[in-house]
Amino acid sequence: MEKEHGQVTGIIWRGPEDLAVYQLVKQYAEKQSLTVSAAAKELVKIGLKDIMTK
């Protein structure tokens, strides 16, 4: 499977808004000692759990 330009975590990050979000995910990953991909997956799980339990 080839990665599309801008794809790092299985998510395609394009444009300044996406790149700003990517930087936040990267910061989170560094603080949690995770890869960016693992951090993105964790954040999706946290967000979905929060949304689905409301």
Neighbours of 29 (CB within 10 A): 19
More confident residue, 3 or 30: 30
More confident residue, 13 or 43: 43
Tokens for 4? 């599309």
The answer on pLDDT for 6 being more than 90 is no
**3-state helix vs strand vs coil in the chain, percent to 5:** 65, 5, 30
Confidence category of residue 25, pLDDT binned at 50, 70, 90: very high
| CA distance readout (Å), 14 to 7, 35, 43, 51 | 9, 20, 19, 25
Domain spans, the chain: 15-52
Confidence category of residue 42, pLDDT binned at 50, 70, 90: very high
Confidence category of residue 5, pLDDT binned at 50, 70, 90: low
